[in-house]
Chains A and B, each alone.
Chain A
Amino acid sequence: MTVFLSLTFSGVALGAIYFLAASGLSLIYGLMDILNFAHGLFMTLGAYAAWDAATHAPASWGAPVIFVVSLVAAVLGGALAAGLTEVLVIRPLYGRPVSQILVTIGLDLAATGLLLGAFGSNPQSLPVPLWMMEASHFAGVSLPNADYVAFAGGLVVLIALEWFLRRTRYGIIIRAGVENRTMVSALGINVARAFTLVFVIGGAMAGLAGLLYAVVFSGELVSPTQGDSLLIFAFIVVVIGGLGSIRGSAVAALMVGLVQDYTNFYLGNHPGMAEIGNLSVVLLLAVVLEWRPRGLFGSTL
């Protein structure tokens, strides 16, 4: 039982990171019909921004402060990368969705190549406070504090995002735009501004996801292709949850995180089953799509 509980907790932590990666992707698709393949790049750049900030910060600041600085750097780095991508690369291609998708693929490949060239394929080690790796006991389960941090990060972002979408002027515009973009612009509202905003928000969350993934699941290592491997799962989460739905992303992210964690532990040790966790996620995707082709929270239209 203790094993199951601790698996559940770490699955939830993984799910929280998937949620951070997926919710921006889902909003961008919902509002702009763009499958943003550069989202993995935003995660990677967030992690590198965090690494850069943490390694350049004076040691006298102390580990906790440095970690907060790197957290802020990850969020800002992801947001900046995404904002620039929207304004410089996506905007000139408005009305050409296929070109927009292709250009995000190209950008991702090119920038990942640049990172490989600049930093090499060896991962960089991210300075993280020791406290993050220490275990805390909660409900009879002992888990690294980093897992709780990831879970808390996901929860805070979910609440903030829901508040933003329900309670602010732009939130209403974005929700309306996800449902029917043409009607929003027919009302006389400048949708382009909402596009940039959605990219910036999505990029900020992706940057945070990139950092947390490096801390929690890849042994505090940052590498150029990290974001892209996370992106695959983020896409699966978005499709399971229903394109454009934040709540769908949250539920699907938890499902994917848990299924992956359980199968990895219970079945992954058997010979030839090392990849069973990833396979189970794809099976989950197939089952959900068979049952609800538009995802859990997808519109029925």
Chain B
Amino acid sequence: MSVNEKPQPPALMATGLGFHVGGVQILSDVDLTVPTGSFLGIIGPNGAGKTTLLNLLSGLLRASAGSIHLEGRDVTGVTPAGRTRLGVGRTFQTSSLFNSLSVFENARLSAQARLGGNARFWRRPRAADAASLAARDALERVGLEEMAMHVTGSLSHGDKRKLELAILLAGEARVLLLDEPMAGVHSEDVPLLTTLIGALHAEGRTVLMVEHHMSVVVGLADTIAVLDSGRLLACGPPDAVIANEDVQSAYLGQPL
């Protein structure tokens, strides 16, 4: 990186982020800066607010306090759809795929949303139009091209996770929010998915990943944030975070 280069705004920045339901504080005063191209692992005990944080960042929940900036732009009030168009892609703990559609149609829908060809609905989605090509590319990228015409509901957990990544690719997401991408995945598929996520990051995408598999998090993330009871307990390089005493006591002495 040259010294003269203009400082690039971080891919995502949360400032004083808080969320409460009624009187219950779920998340309070979270400050996070995620530089473009970095990989942030988010860990913490169950109920720490990890998914809430992703919901706030993707816009599914409206922040009660604080602000969110995407590539320097204030998106605190922007809808999930608006953030998708701005380049945020999100996967869910419980799969959010359309099970009755084919694998290809799931990927196509995402490309279609990005390319905005909806007005010409009478046009057949020909095999060669831009949305279909993007969908095919994305499926190929995650190794699902053979499954393109299968009904999504019939896929294994691992393949569903791959399809979710393909959907983010077809939508050209630059900032990936992954909520437990290994949840429910057969242990044989974990290394493959890990490699795939690593490759997507290596291509320059920014990744925020909530994950319980510590080996996966440590292997991929360059920074780890620890949430506990809705607060940011620690944030830093993996080694430092694991050595942190507060973090260890939050996990009640469990080995990380």
Q: Which residues of A contact B (CB under 8 A)?
A: 167-170, 172-173, 175-176, 178-180, 183-190, 193, 197, 299
Contact = CB atoms under 8 A, between A and B. Distances in A.
Contact of A188 (B81, B98, B105, B121): B81
B100 A175 contact: yes
Contacts of B117: 169
B38 interface: no
Q: Which 5 A-B pairs have the closest CB atoms?
A: A170-B121, A188-B84, A188-B81, A187-B113, A188-B113
A190 B131 CA distance: 17
B112 interface: yes
B4 interface: no
B184 interface: no
B215 interface: no
| A172, A173, A176, A185 pick with most chain B CB within 10 angstroms | A172
A126 B174 CA distance: 61
Interface string B104-130: 010011101110011011111100000
Contact of A168 (B90, B109, B124, B171): B124
Contact of B109 (A176, A193, A299): A176
Nearest to A197: B121
Contact of A189 (B81, B100, B122, B125): B81
Contacts of B110: 187
A36 to B, nearest CB: 21
A188 B81 CA distance: 4
A187 B118 contact: no
Given A173-B109, A180-B98, A167 B125 contact: yes
Given A185-B81, A188-B81, A188-B84, A172 B113 contact: no
B96 interface: yes
B60 A169 contact: no
B124 A187 contact: no
A161 B121 CA distance: 14
B91 to A, nearest CB: 11
B78 to A, nearest CB: 11
Contacts of A184: 109
A168 B96 contact: no
B109 A187 contact: yes
Contact of B101 (A168, A170, A172, A187): A172
Contacts of A185: 80-81
B99 interface: yes
A183 B122 CA distance: 23
A275 B122 CA distance: 44
B121 A186 contact: no
Given A168-B123, A187-B84, 19 more contacts: A167-B124, A168-B121, A168-B122, A169-B112, A169-B121, A172-B108, A179-B98, A179-B99, A180-B96, A180-B98, A183-B96, A184-B109, A185-B80, A187-B81, A187-B109, A188-B82, A188-B85, A188-B114, A197-B121
Contacts of B121: 168-170, 173, 197
Contacts of A189: 81, 109, 112-113, 118
A167 B104 CA distance: 12
B80 A173 contact: no
Nearest to B58: A186
